[in-house]
Homo-oligomer: A and B are copies of this chain.
């Protein structure tokens, strides 16, 4: 597997340096320890939001640092949780005295390291609340996870919480809204081919020429089953029904429909899938009130996609629509 890299050991540091250089209007990069924070310093009295996790899922999380979303992102090594030190350093750098919300994808390493960082931050006098994202309906308990995995729905949670913090809500309110977003969000993915971790040099898993991994995780973890490739309309129907059944979507609901590319899927395929998912929801009497289509939570160059549905109420819609200025998501203020 060829890659456009130098030494595999330098991938994250060099990518973060490039990100900082390309987006110097939005972010400042710290290199030792490694984290990315908003260019402007903390606003006194404003809740800060920190997320992070293994690299390889870009633009998650650094691509969502900026006005109306994250205060800082902490990228670990590829597919590996960051340690507590950089999380703590990011926390101290962005705290404005009103507390810090951690948004953590539900993987054992992330959960432990963010917990430790929270303890250390509290010892330093910084109030921390944590929200776990576990939107993947594919499997319970998996490689690296007790309970459900956190996947593409993390973007929705970060956007909702970020808008809440930006409008000046207190820490309890921001955390409650983030939890409401988690409760309203479900996802499931499919892969046609795995991505390759740079230092591994080989794809994370191998599939046959006509085989797909249905319910795949964003680190290439196994899903519900390996099955034959079908027309995408049939795959979308399977993914969407798994998601909406679990979420209990019913006629009359208004939803955000999010089709996420895993990194190596052409844009036209994502839109073909979006089209069918939207048709299916309409047929069920569900209103697709908002949409998002693109590569937002990737798995290196994995070929595949995921479907995320968030049930919207008026407040979640307002927070989703609020202005945001980040490298990967922008909406005018």
Q: Give bound CA distance, A195 to B330, whole Å.
A: 29
Q: Quick one: CB contact mask for A308-327 with B, threshold 8 Å, 1 for yes?
A: 00000000000000010100
Q: A4-B305, A323-B332, A331-B330 are in contact. Are A271 and B192 (CB under 8 A)?
A: no
Q: Is the CB of A232 within 8 A of B6?
A: yes
Q: Are A21 and B274 in contact (CB under 8 A)?
A: yes
Beta-carbon contact of A229 and B272 below 8 Å? no
A48: Cβ under 8 A from any B Cβ: no
Structural contact, A14 and B267, CB atoms closer than 8 A: no
Q: Which of B59, B78, B212, B293 contacts A22 (CB 8 A)?
A: B293
A177 contacts the other chain (CB 8 A): no
Q: Which of A55, A272, A304 has the most CB of B within 10 A?
A: A272
In whole angstroms, how far apart are the Cα atoms of A300 and B161 in the complex? 34
State how many residues of chain A have any CB contact under 8 Å with chain B.
67
Chain B residues, Cβ within 8 Å of A235:
4
> A3 with B263: in contact, given A21-B274, A295-B295 (CB under 8 Å)?
no
Minimum C-beta distance from A275 to chain B (A): 3
| CB-defined A-B contacts under 8 Å, sample of 24 | A3-B232, A4-B304, A6-B272, A12-B268, A14-B272, A15-B269, A15-B271, A16-B271, A17-B271, A18-B276, A21-B274, A21-B288, A22-B278, A22-B291, A22-B293, A58-B266, A63-B267, A263-B266, A264-B303, A266-B298, A295-B295, A325-B332, A330-B331, A331-B332
17 more A-B residue pairs beyond the given contacts A19-B271, A22-B293, A330-B332, with a C-beta to C-beta distance below 8 A: A2-B210, A2-B303, A5-B269, A11-B268, A15-B267, A15-B271, A18-B271, A18-B273, A21-B275, A21-B288, A22-B259, A58-B267, A58-B271, A266-B300, A301-B303, A323-B332, A330-B330
